[in-house]
Chain A
């Protein structure tokens, strides 16, 4: 009996539902499956300033490689000369703090490494080479200007710039993790040039 009533109810519901659909049909958007099955995108022809970004990154890395080469040759000359240097002492907490604590800074809406940022990264690489057990989290940050979606991507790019530079200095990528905070974790909460300059940074946390 109850079952019959349920079925009746269901029937009434379906029939009236159909009437509604027929007369007051909501416009439902049908996504077209076929439209999504495109092949890989063809190469685009838009001008690429980001190409510059890439070239700059490669150039920096190449320069660094040459510099390292020179340093290596120098070291070998020194070794041949018998002036054997003592290896660097294991890092103390204080040392780790001083080497790893320094942030690198970026220009507005840019993930390119300045020469100053490159110097700082070289020091960090040096220290990391001497402390092979240490892993580093590289945080990418932005200033508050701009929208938070884009800034999260930009922060990621900044962290990636630092990571790839360190990788090319011989630090294993397995020791380097990136995390972008976009504009979500400013160092200085102010809304002025000074604060913004501080906030556009990559920050390094040794673990």
Chain B
């Protein structure tokens, strides 16, 4: 199992501009002490709804050279690590006050660690860290241990600019999650949403944990329905910037894009996974139907052809099926179209108003918002075969717009439980519901993007 690899990666990002050339060494993974690349998935089974939180100890990191400012870093880094891991709902972060050993003073490599000191306080996992600060550069050694097996699970060394501490901790936490669950962590993902902070509905972006929120559009008019391309490079959305609801397709980094502006409505874009194509609702033929379009907005074909409203497409991860909302039965319900055969099946049968489908990244479930008899909206999840609809929110006013995290472990949604509509997250089983961020105005229509690429 424990093979040793030595790897060198120099990732030099060259960002050229007309005036200045910025050359930046972003991060260098120097070597990996042990290489548990084939993750051990027996630690965390994310398909288990009654998941027990694993107690994990993250003591303060060793810092060289010592000093007032550096001491702050030695505290910040393990705190960032703890916050990231706690966000997933998989871990119980143990209180540092109870620790019997201080790896900062003794040993961060684990070679002389008395693991009984950790199992004795209930820790099953331990993370140690060492940071060397040299001018503006951080060199970090981070290790994950199984305290009961007295075994190192993961060891990483990173070199990065001093301002990249957060990024390094996220990268390491992604490795930890990958090792423990077999799925990529979510710590590099972003969430797009609609906020009225500026007085108009505009698209905003934030990090997975609600931090670093920033306005993405500045149309100064109604702007709605953000949708990420599966490579995370493009966002499509609907805006009234040209006087009526059109779809804008924008590259996140480069200043380029396209506009879909047919007569009538151009709404609810949804990218086909792995392709530069999207489905969207258009009404230029007098009926609201879903069309398949290129990323430039050229029509490829009509995907629904029924008199009545067909809207809100949501692709299965393999692109073979599309969930959508239709009122063909008299009330808005969710249907699934099998793209290959053209067959359409109704997915939801309970209640009079089921909309906003979102397909889970593992492909097995569809979440949606359901209107209760009381008039309140709740987030529900149903198997894509229609089995076992489950309500995830309850008696917390209106809960709408579910969207899955890229690993399928969490759902982001909007709720009016505290009055104004805000963005909340929960695990895919409905536990650990909490507010993601607080901004002025109201926030709606969250969409969890894929990892940064």
In angstroms, Cα B333 to Cα A48, docked, is: 13
B339 lies within 8 A of A146 (CB): no
A65 CB, nearest partner CB in chain B, Å: 19
Q: How many residues of B contact A (CB 8 A)?
A: 76
Q: A94 on the interface (CB 8 Å rule)?
A: no
**Contact across chains for A150 and B308 when beta carbons are under 8 A apart:** no
The size bracket of the interface on A is: 35 or more
Q: Is the CB of B318 within 8 A of A32?
A: yes
Q: Does B11 contact A (CB under 8 A)?
A: yes
The answer, yes or no, to whether A178 is at the interface (CB within 8 Å) is yes
Q: How many angstroms from the CA of A152 to the CA of B329 in the assembled complex?
A: 19
Chain A 166-180, CB-CB to B under 8 Å as 1, else 0, gives 000000000000111
Bound-complex Cα distance A138 to B254 (A): 37
Interface of B is mostly: loop
Q: Most chain-B CB neighbours within 10 Å: which of A29, A154, A164, A181?
A: A29
Which of B59-67, B88-96, B145-153, B369-377 lies on the face that meets chain A? Answer: B369-377
B100 at the interface (CB under 8 A from A): no
Tell whether, in the assembled complex, residue B346 and residue A46 are in contact, meaning their CB atoms are under 8 Å apart: yes
Q: Please tell me if A149 contacts chain B, counting CB pairs below 8 Å.
A: yes
A131: interface (CB < 8 Å) = no
A40 and B302 within 8 A (CB): yes
Complex CA–CA separation, A180 to B339 (angstroms): 29
Q: Do B307 and A51 touch across chains, with their CB atoms under 8 A apart?
A: yes
CA distance A142 to B18 in the complex (A): 49
With A46-B329, A147-B400, A179-B244 already in contact, the answer to whether A31 and B286 are too (CB < 8 A) is no
A12 shortest CB reach to chain B, Å: 6
If A50-B309, A152-B267 are given as contacts, then 16 extra A-B residue pairs at C-beta distance below 8 Å, sorted by A number, are A16-B8, A16-B9, A29-B319, A31-B273, A38-B341, A41-B304, A44-B344, A46-B328, A46-B344, A48-B308, A147-B356, A147-B369, A149-B355, A150-B332, A153-B283, A179-B245
27 A–B contact pairs at CB < 8 A? Answer: A9-B12, A12-B10, A28-B274, A29-B274, A29-B319, A35-B320, A35-B339, A36-B319, A38-B342, A41-B304, A41-B305, A41-B342, A41-B344, A48-B308, A48-B329, A49-B328, A54-B307, A145-B375, A146-B355, A147-B369, A147-B400, A147-B401, A152-B265, A156-B264, A156-B265, A157-B288, A180-B264
B residues lining the A interface (CB < 8 Å): 5, 7-12, 35, 37-38, 178, 184, 201, 222, 224-225, 230, 238, 243-245, 264-265, 267-268, 272-275, 277, 281, 283, 286, 288, 292, 301-309, 311-312, 317-320, 325, 327-332, 337, 339-344, 346, 353, 355-356, 369, 371, 375, 377, 400-401, 444-445
Q: Which residues of A contact B (CB under 8 A)?
A: 9, 12-13, 16-17, 19, 23-24, 26, 28-36, 38-42, 44, 46-54, 109, 145-150, 152-154, 156-157, 160, 164, 178-181, 184
